[in-house]
Amino acid sequence: MTLKITGALVLGEQAGDLYVDDSGVLVDEVLSPDETIDADGLVALPGLVDLHTHLREPGREDAETILSGSRAAAMGGYAAVLAMANTSPVTDTAEAALRVLDLGREAGLVHVQPVGAVTRGLAGEELAELGLMARSRAAVRVFSDDGRCVHDARVMRRALEYVKAFGGVVSQHAQDPTLAGPSACCHEGEVSGRLGLPGWPGVAEEVIVARDVMLARHTGSRVHIAHVSTAGSVEVLRWAKAQGIDVTAEVTPHHLMLTTDLLTGYDPTFKVNPPLRPDEDVEALREALADGTIDAVATDHAPHARHDKEHAFVDAAFGMLGLETALAVVRTALPDLAWADIARVMSAAPAQIAGLEGFGSLDLGSTAHVVLVEPDATVTVDRGASVSLSRNNPWHGRTLRSRVVHTVYGGRVTVRDGALA
């Protein structure tokens, strides 16, 4: 199948044509293409890469499956997603990682790259089979106990030393569990006080970010901070990067736009971990993304079945959907961010952090992973229209800017005219 994409604004700049040959590679010309996509007025970006997706399979296929999550990813313009390890069973062995990889291949809509657990069963005590996962066909490079912090400094140090041998990275859910009670469910501050909800202070995140950048410096290894949510974490990251410490960081779309005030209705749709923070944190996160202190946008797409989410706020599950809306949220939150920068933070940088080759570029000779975006469309989000199996969509009813029109994964059209192909 050969493809021609005509008139696209490549990285938001000059209009040009893109050609895909029948091995799915971007080339400078194809004489009589099998399919032509008219992309006049659309922006072409490299297919997006998500460092942080919860696909729920195995274990919670009622909330999402690798297939349904792959559909949501394709609809959001993604070509690759990293599937977090907090499934049931946990992805803490090579066999478990291979199963995720292979189910992703079967779905065939995006590359599904398994994230390996740092510790066995996410229990925070013994290291998981890091080397076996890395050396397996799944070639796992990102390790995370996401949902839980690797809070024992000795375990974190060992994990960093271990992954260094094969160029891996530990993605840390930075949250010191000793700085909040077990039922913490939102940001600790004025709003939590008023609502009578137990909270996490921002410093619970910041102390772990500070500790882990020092452990990265000590071990000479690479640490990645998942879903950074506070201005204080940004300060630490800025300092660490200035020292040359090998640290990268991601921010979620929701932390770039939604604030603690949304909790006043006690709606569990807005319950997420790390929690929504006040305006000043959101402002600092936007600045940090724009100036490169934060390297990437990652969705933390966290689908939950109704019966896990529809509870009193303190009892509901943490998490919100994100794959289908991420690009539009970034565009809405940072309207002045150049398309080349969006391509960097949503595709090239995450691909590099994850060690995924063949993603993040529209250069000739690259595999053809492309997303075509209508830049100034406005779309009012309807949670009922989602292809995810879950409905915990914090963007429902909001009007966002930009729309994914077509997605091409490995030369194959996965989304055409805003619908699964």
Select from 91, 273, 325, 392 the one that contacts ligand DOR (CB under 6 A).
273
Tell me, yes or no, if 295 is annotated catalytic: no
The beta strand positions in 295-398, using DSSP E, are 296-297, 370-380
How many Cβ atoms are within 10 Å of 195's Cβ, its own excluded? Answer: 15
| Range 118-177, binding ligand DOR (CB under 6 A) | 146-147, 173
Residue 54 or 222 having the CB closest to ligand DOR? 54
Closest distance of CB 178 from ligand DOR, Å: 18
Site for ligand DOR contains 70 (CB under 6 A): no
According to CB under 6 A, which residues from 223 to 252 bind ligand DOR? Answer: none
CA 77 to chain centre: 12
Q: Does 302 sit near ligand DOR (CB under 6 A)?
A: yes
- Residue 167: Cβ within 10 Å count: 11
Please check if 273 is assigned to a binding site.
yes
- Residue 319 touches ligand DOR, criterion: CB under 6 A: yes
Q: Which of 9, 50, 54, 80 binds ligand DOR (CB under 6 A)?
A: 54
CA neighbours closer than 13 Å in the CB half-sphere of residue 223: 30
Helix (H) or strand (E) holding 169: strand 169-172
The strand ranges marked E within 61-168 are 78-83, 111-114, 142-143
Q: Which residue of this chain has its Cβ atom nearest to ligand DOR in the complex? A: 319
Catalytic residue, chosen from 145, 212, 300, 308, is 300
Are the C-beta atoms of residues 327 and 342 closer than 8 Å to each other?
Answer: yes
- Is 393 a binder of ligand DOR (CB under 6 A)? no
Q: What Cα–Cα distance (Å) separates residue 74 from each residue in 5, 49, 87, 225, 419?
A: 18, 11, 21, 25, 9
Token pair in block for residue 211: 């500790």
User: Any known ligand binding at 319?
Assistant: yes
Measure Cα distances from 186 to 98, 215, 381 in Å. 35, 28, 25
224-243 burial: b if 16+ Cβ within 10 Å, else e:
bbbbbbbbbbbbbbeebbee
143 is in an annotated binding site: no
The DSSP result for 41-59, as a single string, is TPEEEEPEEEEEE---TTT
Q: Is 318 in the site for ligand DOR (CB under 6 A)?
A: yes
Q: How many residues bind ligand DOR (CB under 6 A)?
A: 11
Kindly state whether residue 205 participates in binding ligand DOR, applying the rule CB under 6 A: no
**Cα 389 from chain centroid?**
18
Q: Which is nearer to ligand DOR, 113 or 144 (CB)?
A: 144
- Please pick, from the candidates 86, 171, 402, 407, the single residue that binds ligand DOR as defined by CB under 6 A: 86
| Least distance CB 365 / ligand DOR (angstroms) | 37
From first CA to last CA, the distance across the chain in angstroms is 14
The residue from 9, 213, 272, 381 that contacts ligand DOR (CB under 6 A) is 272
Determine, following the binding rule CB under 6 A, whether residue 65 of this chain makes contact with ligand DOR. Answer: no
**Residues contacting residue 64 through CB under 8 Å, at least 6 positions apart:** 54, 55, 56, 57, 72, 303, 388, 389, 390
When the beta carbons of 192 and 273 are compared against ligand DOR, the nearer one is 273
Check the annotation: does 304 bind a ligand: yes
* Residue placing its CB nearer to ligand DOR in the complex, 10 or 298: 298
167 among the known binding-site residues? Answer: no
User: In the complex, what is the shortest distance from the CB of residue 302 to ligand DOR, in angstroms, rounded to a whole number?
Assistant: 4
2 within 8 A of 413, measured Cβ to Cβ: no
- Min dist. Cβ of residue 246 to ligand DOR (A): 23
Residues making up the binding site: 52, 54-56, 86, 146, 173, 227, 273, 300, 304, 318-319
Residues making up the binding site for substrate: 54-56, 86, 273, 304, 318-319
Which residues form the catalytic set?
A: 300
Residues contributing to the site for ligand DOR (CB under 6 A):
54, 86, 146-147, 173, 272-273, 300, 302, 318-319
Residues making up the binding site for Zn(2+): 52, 54, 146, 173, 227, 300
